[in-house]
């Protein structure tokens, strides 16, 4: 990529990141860059958005630990 194209790509990513922050998406620059690249490769943006939303809903599961002593 030539320097002009690199500069344009950086500026575009920065603009998309600023919009992402305004919309409070919680996406970092790296993730946003990957999503933009996937769209450039022809993936459906609505499908990607649905995946991101679904992954955002998932909460890390931690095994529940009982605080009551068990009977011997």
Residue 15 belongs to some domain of the structure = yes
Residue 70 belongs to some domain of the structure = no
How many domains are contained in the chain? 1
What per-residue confidence (pLDDT) applies to 68? 56
Per-residue pLDDT of the chain (72 residues; tens, 9 = 90+): 689 999 999 999 999 999 999 999 999 999 999 999 999 999 999 999 999 999 888 756 555 565 555 555
pTM: 0.71
Residue 35 belongs to some domain of the structure = yes
Those residues with Cβ within 8 angstroms of residue 32's Cβ, 6 or more apart along the chain or in another chain: 13, 16, 17, 20
What per-residue confidence (pLDDT) applies to 63? 58
What per-residue confidence (pLDDT) applies to 37? 94
* CA distance linking residue 22 with residue 20, whole number of Å: 6
What per-residue confidence (pLDDT) applies to 67? 56
Tell me which residue range forms the domain holding 20. 3-57
């Amino acid at each position: 990529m030539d320097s002009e194209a690199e500069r344009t790509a950086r500026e575009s990513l920065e603009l998309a990141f600023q919009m992402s922050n305004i919309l409070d998406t919680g996406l970092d620059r790296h993730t946003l860059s990957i999503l933009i690249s996937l769209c450039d490769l022809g993936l459906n943006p609505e499908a990607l958005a649905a995946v991101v939303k679904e992954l955002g809903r998932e909460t890390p599961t931690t095994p529940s630990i009982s605080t009551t002593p068990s009977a011997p």
